[in-house]
Each structure stands twice: as structure tokens, then as C-alpha cells.
Chains A and B, each alone.
Chain A
């Protein structure tokens, strides 16, 4: 028995140490063997930039408050959504699960797409996009936080990276990945092919087919945990989903093709919400939300 305890304890100790440092994911990366676990934050940064650009291209690069991004000083509704989003994203670091992705190298960024359909997208590396249609459905700061928490959860759980097919890395030599300091043309070509394939897989999952039902349910569950940690009202998650449910009933909205039925998502969350501590939303939160959305009119 003592030997058993020793083995269990040693494993627990090793696991603790692996999970406690930001380096662990980097150290685990010796050649791309498996997409989600082994891609470093540096790799995630580059695929994130490319996925984000593909999402923007699909919206013809039309997003709100572009002048603020030009000047480096966020404006209007975009400044507000970035405040809410950063509260949610920073709170997510206190919601820990195995294999969570570490802090994005370029921080968290929230962009409102000029698109009337109802949808939101999360690129790896912390680039979150929410359509105007989705923003307009939110009736409160807490409902907006629910949308953002779901997307932040996709990033923290590495869902887009997980959609990269393992076969993309087949034939790429380990030595190409981690032992050469200067890239030769063949290595660069191999890596570019992997990158292109990975981009196809991720944009297909994010923009066209959506993730699996279980992946979306996980983003809801983790998103709810993040909302609670941030101090937002967990009931707002369900109230927002009820609005989506009404749209799905009429076949409207852009999210139906990429998400499970809202009714199924509600059913999975309601028990958890009922168990969570009740939150009384202060009047000031309602007031500042109304002021922010007045910018949209």
C-alpha cells in the first residue's frame, strides 16, 4: 500500500508541476506530433493571426470603430466590449482545467463585425469576433459577457487548434521542427504546407461546419464558470440562449449552422445555473450598457 501511495503521489506531484508553469506546453513541444497539446503559444500566435484575418476577410474587413483601431485608442461600443471581454478573459485564468491554453502572446482582443447575422467566432491566440446581430440580441452587459465568455472558453480550451487534422503533420520531419536554427527551403515548404492545411481545418470548423456538439457544450460549461468567476450573473447565459432559441425556431440567425440547438444548450446549463449563487445586477451596470448600445443607433 505504501508503495502504491508513493507511486500515486509521485504522479500527482509530476502532474502538479507540469500544470503549474507556462513553460510546460513549450517544453512538451519537440516536433509537431499532436496539434492541440503540442503547439506552443508562439505557434498559436501565428495561426491565430491568419484565422483572424480569414474571419475579417469573410466580413469584407468591415468592423465597428475601425478608426479607434487605426489610432490605437479604442472607441465607442468597441471600447466597451473590450472592457467586458478583458474582465471575462482575465477571470478565465482563475478557471483551470487540464490542457488549458496559456495567456495569448498578443493579449485578448474583441472586434464587432458589421454583420447583421447572429454569430461569434474565436480565433486561436485570443482574437474574438462578435457580429452586430449578436450584440444587438444582448439585453444587458451580463448577456454580452455570456457571449464573450463562451468564445473565451473556446480559446482557453484550444478548440480551434484541436480541429487541425493530425494527418497535416504527417511526413514533416521532427528534426525540421525543433533542431535547425536556420530554415532551408524544404523545411520552410513543409511548414508552409502544414500551416495551409491547418488553416483550412480551422476556418472550416469556425466559419462553416462548426465544432462538435460536445465541444460547444464544453465552451458553454467553461464559459459559465468564467462568468461566475468574473462576477456576472450566470442566469444571463440562459436568458441569452433563450433569445437564440426563438431565432432558431423561425430559422433566422447565422449561428444555427455552427452551433447545436439552443434548447439543448439551455437544458445542459440550467441545472448549473440553478446551483450557482444568485447575482443581483447593480443598476450602474444596466445604465452603462444602455449608454454603450446607444452608440449603435
Chain B
């Protein structure tokens, strides 16, 4: 079992990080934005909509990463490039590299104009279909970076990014590849905006995760990518890293298509599994980057479980106040932010939190907070009752 007593053979290192979101393009810019407490939300500008709510759009994707009419792929390429660079990886053709990426929007053939055309005329442009067939995100990234190991796209709704990292973790532990490009990517799209609005969980103002007066989520977009690597592979190419993935846990609620299980048993089970795989106790966790969407139900269930397991003094935050809910990208971005928090020794204030909810036995951090400790958690809860957790370590 991998864990804090890991060996070079079984350890899974994080040797690179790449992020892009409304908080910034690149980790350095993002951390500066976090320090300043910036919340770069605004009205939808990417498409025409009658829905009025703040969203967290990426202001500019560097032109070298633009894939025509495939914003999710563009975001992913940008984050992958930063992650590979920070891992000092160039030519991958002679390495055993896997690609495991979560998404939601990019997995669906949901082009409104294509469908409108089909409805009206019985015909529609096949370029849209071609783009879709070439755009399975894991297959696309694998082709683009010449990764020849396993490639699989995870479509587990809002836990996709976390589950993708967990899947890559299994690949590496079992020798399917030596290096994995893992995380999530998603673009802001009209379809989920309409869908989440219809569910009544989109906030008309900025989200406030875990706050007493929270009124829902803000949608966002972005990509978060981790380069995971076996200790042996990193050693072979002279790369070292203090950051590790130590444990992954996932559990189903088996309860409801959209609502979390009220007792949080599924989330608790996923946390238990992740901690057990990491070989650490709850009291060794120094902070949790929570799913924290800002919806009534999610934050209540998640807050209760985290409070129950880790106690009221747990340092907890939700970075969705900086990025919005980026759906399939969320787990990738938040794992990257968690890794950065461990590495940097500080976490930002949990944006939007003002008033404690007496039903939630936790108080998110209200200011930039120094971190002393070696282990942290990133959690995801999803449509369909998926719960997933990652334990990251700094050894």
C-alpha cells in the first residue's frame, strides 16, 4: 500500500502543476490573485443568454493553445503545457505516459446550432461531429503530447477531476505507466448554465461557500492538471519533488440523482478510504480544500462530515469562491491548489464566507493562513451521488 511509508517503487510523486481559471493563467498568477483576494466574476460574455448571474470566465487563453471551437481543449492544453514544463518534461515519445482527464461539457454532443439545424432542415454540418469525435479530451491530449500509455476520459460529473487523478494513481501504482497527466477541464457552456439554473441552485450574486446565508453556486471554467510520476521514473530523470498523492477514496451515495445523502455516509466513506490508503489519521490533516459549492445542501452535508471527522478547528476553505464551480475541472484545479498550499505553506481566505452557519460545525478560514503540517485533503461531491477524496502529502 502506498502511504507515508512509501517506497521509491510505489510512491506517486506530483512533479508538475498547471492551472488556468478565472483566478489566473498559471499557478504563479493564480496564487497572487488568491493573496489579493480577487474574485474575477462577471456577466456571461462567451455566449448570448437571457440568464443573469455572475460567472467566472477565463479572461484570456494564450493564443498558442487555442483549438478552434473547442474551448475545453484549449483550456486543457494550456494547463497541460504548464504542468509538463514545471515537471521538466519535453519529448514524451520514449516514455510510458498515461492521460486521465475529467470533464463534463466536452463529453457531450450538445452543440445548439447543430441541433437547431437538424431540427429545422433534417441536415446539419458534419464538421461539428468531426470535431466532437476528435475531441474526446484524454484521447486528444494523448495525441497532442505523444503520450502512448493508457488514456481515458472520466465523466463523473463534478467529481470527474478528482476521480481522474485517482484513476491515474491506480495506473501508476500498478505499473501501467510511469508518468500520468491527470486532472480536469471544462468550459463555461449555456447547457449546464440552463440546467443548474433550472435546479434552482445558481446564485444571482457571488457565491459564499459554507456561509449561513449562502444562496447557491456560480459556474466557472478552467483546467487543473497534475503530473504524477512514480518515484523510480522521477529518479531516473533526475527530478525530485516533495509532493505526493498518498491516498484516494471514492464512494457512492446510492441515494439520489442530484441531492447528496443527508447523513453524508458516502463522503465519510470516501474520506476513510483515502486516509486509510495514505496510512494517516484524521488529526494529521492540516487543511481541507473542500468541494464547498455554496449550495444549501452540499455545504451542509460536507460541513457536517468534515466537522465530525476532523473537529471544529479544522482549517478548511473552498477555492470555488475564486474560480466558480468549474464542474469537471474542479477536482483537478482544487487538487493543484491543495498541492500548492502544502508546498507554499499557506492557504488563502475562503472567499465569500462571512457568517457562521450554526448547523455546520466548522468555520472556514477568514484570512490568509499559514499551514504547518504535511498532509491535506481535497474533496469532491457530484451529481449522481459520487463522493471522492484525495490525500496529498509533503514529505
Q: Are A and B subunits of one complex?
A: no
Interface residues of A (CB under 8 A from B): none
